[in-house]
Amino acid sequence: MDAVNASGRRRQWFAFSAVALGTFCSVMDHGSISVALPSISHHFAANIPTTQWIVIVFSLTIVMLLLPMGRLGDTKGLGNIYRLGCVILVFATLAAGVSSSLMVLIGARIVQGLGAAMTQGIGMAIVVSVFPQGERGKAIGLIMTTVGAGAIAGLAFGGILVDWFGWRAVF
């Protein structure tokens, strides 16, 4: 019986770790991009209001797709959609990092928003589904702590990365 419980606990914390890592990276990315906007603007010889679309399209895409992605996770499997969202997010991030123009970068950010909507819309559902009723509050609280830590880390590490390596390093 203890082996079954230990296996279940490992599964819970493995799922939690995957969601926490994805959440942390997604939130950290958002903050680091904000710090990089002046450098991106200078690189592409664009004004700041135009460059701000890099942040805006990412947020808008997430907002528009968050609920539909949650529903898709309900129908196609939470883990499947979460993993697909992570893959999309990674490849779109790489595309953003090698963007040759501001429009390509904005397009990559839209695709990043799709991946982020998949992971953010499903991450909490995964955590809730693997933890028993009595431990869900703790797990949700820890995920929300990860959100706060990612927000702080994004600003701090984003500034360091841009200063040392240039704006592409935030991707």
In this predicted model, what pLDDT tens digit does every residue of 92-129 receive, in sequence order? 999 999 999 999 999 999 999 999 999 988 999 999 99
Closest CA to 27 of 165, 143, 163: 143
Rounded (to 5) percent helix, strand, coil in the chain:
90, 0, 10
User: What pLDDT was estimated at residue 5?
Assistant: 67
pTM of the complete model: 0.88
Specify the long-range contacts of residues 127-133, CB closer than 8 Å, at least 24 apart.
127/15, 127/16, 127/19, 129/78, 130/11, 130/12, 130/15, 130/16, 131/12, 131/16
